[in-house]
Each structure stands twice: as structure tokens, then as C-alpha cells.
Amino acid sequence: MLRAFFFSILVKERVEYIVTMDDLDKLDFNVSYGDRFSAEEPSLIDVYKPKEDGPSEEKEDDKFVCFSSDLVKCFKLKIKQSSARLRVDSLIDIYKNAEASYESNKDYTLSQWCMANVNRFLDIAEGKDFNLDDKEIDIKRAKKDLMENNLELEFQSIDELYIETRKEAINNAIASRIEI
């Protein structure tokens, strides 16, 4: 019996379909269609081929995807370590909303400011500290967190990142299906 598994991935206004079939000796197909369904030959990718040992250039978008993924992992770790019962969505909201109160002329980056706000929120949620005036301690903790979790990428706006809450993901999926 032949089984086929279809995966659809939306990557920057382009849908990529990946079809994996069993019992075909590990043969994978990657068929991509752009805005216009062109008559291009589908490209085959051998995922079992060993990587070449050359310098790999990471695209600019890839850095933001990796950073976003590591950021969500950091949030999950913080929630596990926290005594408060929180969801990752709460920390994502706090992180994203911190951009509105960021002052670019200060001695800290947007990433540090957003993480400091997440740490401050966790302290309040756990009942540890309600002092909102001591920003220097929060910034130092944020710098330490960012360094420990390999989150040292600088960005100009939260919109450059690939983080969204479940509610935002559902609303975006609904909006994309309603478009005519």
C-alpha cells in the first residue's frame, strides 16, 4: 500500500508543497509554485545526501526565523522555571507590546528592552517584585538572558520577527481564507 503525506508551508507569499511517499526508497519531492503557476520543472531535493563542507551563507530572513524560534524556546524555559501558571502567548504579548514604550536614544537595544519587560512581568506574576522604577536591574538581567539563550540579534522592529500568539495565528489563517 502506498501512502502519501502532504505538507503545505507558506513562505513569504509563496506556498511550498512537500510530498513524502513511503515505500519508494526514501524518495522525496519538493514542488514549489510562485504567484503564477509556471510550467517550471519541479525541483527534486535529496534530503539524505550529506551536506557539503563549504561555507554556508545564512540569508537575512533565516537569522530572524532562528532568532524567533530561539526566543519562543527561551519563553518556554522561563515558564517552566516560573511558579506562576502562564502561557507562552502571554510572554509573546508582553514582548511585542514592549516596543511601544521603547526609547531608542537609551543605552539598551530593543531586544534588551523587550526581554526586560518580560522579566518584569514574570516577577510581578510570581509576586516577587512590584518595583517598576528600577530599569537598570531589569536591563542587566535581560542582557544576561539574551546572552545565555543566544538571542543577540539586533532588529529595528518586532515586525521583523516571526512570533505570534495563537489568537493572531488563527485570525491570520481565517483572514487568508476569506480573501477573494
The pLDDT of residue 83: 86
Q: Is 156 within the bounds of a domain?
A: yes
Residue from 89, 98, 78 nearest 139 by CA? 98
The pLDDT of residue 138: 86
The pLDDT of residue 46: 65
Q: Is 180 within the bounds of a domain?
A: no
The parent domain of residue 19 ranges over 1-48
Determine the Cα–Cα distance for residues 20 and 94; give it in Å rounded to an integer: 39
10 and 44 within one domain: yes
Determine the Cα–Cα distance for residues 20 and 67; give it in Å rounded to an integer: 28
The pLDDT of residue 73: 92
Q: Is 53 within the bounds of a domain?
A: no
| Count of structural domains, the chain | 2
pTM: 0.62
